[in-house]
Amino acid sequence: MLRRPPARKAGLSAFRSEPDCSPDVRRREQSRSFKHETQNMNTTENFVSTPQIPNNIVKPLKFPPQPQEYKIVSLRECPTPADIQLCETPEQAAAYWKMHITTHPYFNPECECLVVLILNTRRKIKGHYFVSIGTMDTILVHPREVFRLAIMASASAIALMHNHPSNESTPSEADIKVTRDLIRAGQLLKIEVLDHIVIGNPNHTSLRALGHFFQ
C-alpha cells in the first residue's frame, strides 16, 4: 500500500535559506568575535601567578681570620761595588746610603728616614730595609720594627742609619737615647748593633766614633 508523503506546511520553503554574505554582515561578525576574544584575554584566570622574589640586599660572607704562612721575600737586587759591600767603617756605610737609599722611591729628604743595614758575620752587607719615615725633625723608633727583618734574615749584626733634613749630622739627645736602647735590645737577641750613623749633607757622624756606644 502506497502512502503519500506528508503535505508541506504553508509558508515553508523547500530549500534552506543561505546566510547573508554581504561585507557589512561579515565585519559585524568579526567585530563581535574580536571583542569576545579580548574579554577572555583580559581575565585574570588566564594569567599564571609567579612568586615575587623579595628585593633584599645580599650581605657579603665574612670568614673568621685564619693563620697565615710567612716568609721573607727579597724585593730587588742592589748592585754594589765590592769595596762598598763591606761595612767596616762609617764611610762605607755612608757610600752605601748615597748609592741605594737616596734613589729609593720611598726616600724623602725632607723627612727623617730610618734604615737598617743587615750584616753577616764578616760584616758584609746582605741588604737593607726601611724601618720608618717620620717628619722633618722627629721619627718613631721601636726595637720590634728595627729587629724584625734582621731576625728573619738571620743577621749577625746591624747598622742603623738615619738622615737629618737640616743637613746637620750632629746627633740629638733623643738619637743617643734610642741608640742605647737598641744596643740593649740587640744584646738580648744576640744581634750586635755595629754603629748608628747620622747622615747630613755633605757630612755624616758615627755615634760609635763619638763614644756614645760605651757607658
More confident residue, 42 or 162: 162
pTM (predicted TM-score)? 0.68
| Residue 34: pLDDT over 90 | no
Query: Could you tell me where the beta strands, DSSP code E, fall in the chain?
Result: 113-119, 125-133, 157-163, 192-199, 204-206
113-119, strands of its sheet edge to edge? 125-133, 113-119, 157-163, 192-199, 204-206
Which distant-in-sequence residues (6+ apart) come within 8 Å of 181 by Cβ?
A: 143
d(CA 72, CA 145): 14
The per-residue pLDDT for 1 is 47
pLDDT at residue 32, as a whole number? 67
What is the C-alpha separation between 193 and 186, in angstroms, rounded? 6
Taking CA atoms, 143 is separated from 2, 116, 122, 176, 186, in Å, by 139, 12, 24, 14, 9
Domains of the chain listed by start with CATH number = 97-165+172-206 (3.40.140.10)
Check: CB of residue 126 under 8 Å from CB of residue 152: no
Q: What is the mean pLDDT of the chain?
A: 83
Q: Quick one: pLDDT at residue 18?
A: 52
d(CA 41, CA 47): 9
| 17-to-24, 68, 172 alpha-carbon distances in Å | 19, 98, 127
Average confidence (pLDDT) over 114-130 = 95
Q: How far apart are CA 22 and CA 26, in angstroms?
A: 7
Determine the pLDDT at residue 15: 45
pLDDT in tens, 4-31: 555 555 444 444 555 555 566 666 666 6
Q: For 208-214, what is the mean pLDDT?
A: 90
Could you report the per-residue pLDDT of 46-76, keeping only the tens digit for each?
A: 555 566 666 667 677 777 888 888 877 888 8
**Mean pLDDT calculated for residue range 27-54:** 58
How far apart, in whole angstroms, are the C-alpha atoms of residue 121 and residue 190? 12
Q: Name the least confident of 32-46, 51-65, 178-192.
A: 32-46
Please name which of 200, 206, 205, 146 lies closest in space to residue 178, comparing C-alpha atoms. 146
Strand partners, 116: 129, 160
Give tens-digit pLDDT for 152-164. 999 999 999 999 9
- Decide if pLDDT at 81 tops 60: yes
113, β-bridge pairs: 133
Q: What is the pLDDT at residue 61? A: 76
